[in-house]
Structure 1
Amino acid sequence: LSVAVPGEPGHFLINPFGLAFEEVRASSLVKIDLAGRRIGDGPHQVNATGFALHAAVHAARADAVCVIHLHTKAGIAVSMQPQGLLPASQHALRFHGDLACHDYEALAFTPAEGARLVERLGDKSAMLLRNHGTLTVGRTVAEAWV
């Protein structure tokens, strides 16, 4: 999870490397710049691998204040299906017309991979990364979570 710091352009908070989501507290978030470099001191390491994909989205979309990328069992299972998410439930219909797909190639360390991912995301708020997981964006943490 990454979120832009209000009033500090180019600065983001990200969950630290090595902690499970249930262990993360506001005090353990790490402040970084768009290149993934730590701002200030702290005991936690930066998850540079995790932020690479986020950085591409944050840089391309001003409305992407929060980016959430997950590897849940359900999300991975759906991302593996050739047809993706079927509009077969009220939960799935939430994404009707607002879901992009990206053939996950590798870690988004290269500018070219980041550019392809952002191009496929377009103006959508959610994306399936084929055989990998999910990504959502929002103007707030709550919007990205929902």
Structure 2
Amino acid sequence: MATAINVQSSCSEEEWQARQRLAACYRIFAYLGWDEMIFNHITLKVPGEDEAFLINPYGLHFSEVTASTLVKIDIEGNTLDGSTFPVNKAGFTQHSLFHRELPEVHAIIHTHTTATMAVGSVEGGLQPVNFYAAAVVPRLAYHKFEGVTVHADEGPRFLASLGNKRMMMLENHGPVVMGRTLEQAFLDHWVLQRACEIQMQTMAMGKPIMIGEEVIRKHVESLSETAIDPAMMGVPEFDAMVRLVDQQDKSWRE
């Protein structure tokens, strides 16, 4: 097994803060049960370095990720920080595409949670049957399953499916959630996850009550009007989860 290197002394303060924030995010996902053994990925651009991003080391569980064990790579897949940890090819292929082609996207999340995979594996996908879904449905794109995402030639089709949206359900697979900040992406994933969990329960009970398009439009507008500073979107929620994680283990900061 590879070992972590001492990166704090060799990276900028901005990069170290980004490493700690991303490591905390991995621990939050593990805390919430959104981990998938050693698979799945959350990436974050390195501040001030447009072609470099941080990704989890392949082989560590989300609950083991720390600021130092995160791997810094460029969009070509080259390791930039001397890490001896490998990187999951599926994570690199997909995330490097979006980081390269969508400069405003700084954080990308891909998971295999039961709820999101289940909803992405039925005809119609996410339906407007609950409070959370009404906020997500207009923002959610879909992409047909082509197998494990390790083939570069799927890139143009990914981008065509995504369009101008920044949340996409890979059918029969799982979601990709993108954000201008890590905290925004986290909150969007949380909302999508809740929408899918509730849909699963609702559909098991009987015929759902569908929310109409006009109500959805009003709902989305009202949510945007009551939102805090857009630059702070997801920050209070993320910080609350960091405090919960810290009650169990603070080693992610190392």
- Are 2:111 and 1:66 aligned? no
Match of 1:119 in 2: 160
Q: TM-score, normalised by structure 1?
A: 0.93
Give the fraction of aligned pairs with identical amino acids, expressed as a percent.
40
More strand by share: 1
Give the length in aligned residue pairs. Answer: 146
- 8 A contact 1:52–1:109 mirrored in 2: yes
Q: Does 1:34 align with 2:79?
A: no
Q: Which whole-Å deviations, capped at 9, do the CAs of 1:8-48 have from their partners, x for residues lacking one?
A: 12000001101222221212110000012211212422222
Matched with 1:55 is: 96
Paired with 1:109 and 1:71, the residues of 2 have a C-alpha distance of 16
Paired position in structure 2 for 1:4: 45
Gaps of 5+ in 1: none
Deviation above 2 Å: which 4+ runs of structure 1?
Answer: 106-112
> What CA distance in whole angstroms lies between the structure 2 residues aligned with 1:96 and 1:77?
16
Within 2, Cα distance between the matches of 1:139 and 1:76? 24
**Which structure has the greater CA radius of gyration?**
2
Task: Name the aligned partner's letter for residue 159 of structure 2.
Answer: V
For 1:63, give the aligned amino acid: E
Which structure shows the bigger proportion of residues in helix conformation? 2
Q: CA deviation at 1:94?
A: 2.4
Q: Is the 8 A contact 1:38 1:46 kept in 2?
A: no
Q: Matches of 1:46 and 1:109 in 2, distance apart?
A: 12
Cα deviations across residues 72-109 of structure 1 (Å, max 9, x unaligned)? 11111010011100111112122131000000202333
Q: TM-score, normalised by structure 2?
A: 0.55
Rounded to whole Å, the distance in 1 between the matches of 2:176 and 2:89 is 17
Q: Which amino acid aligns with 1:75?
A: T
Match of 1:24 in 2: 65
Q: 2:86 aligns with which of 45, 49, 55?
A: 45
Unmatched segments (≥5 aa) in structure 2: 1-41, 188-254
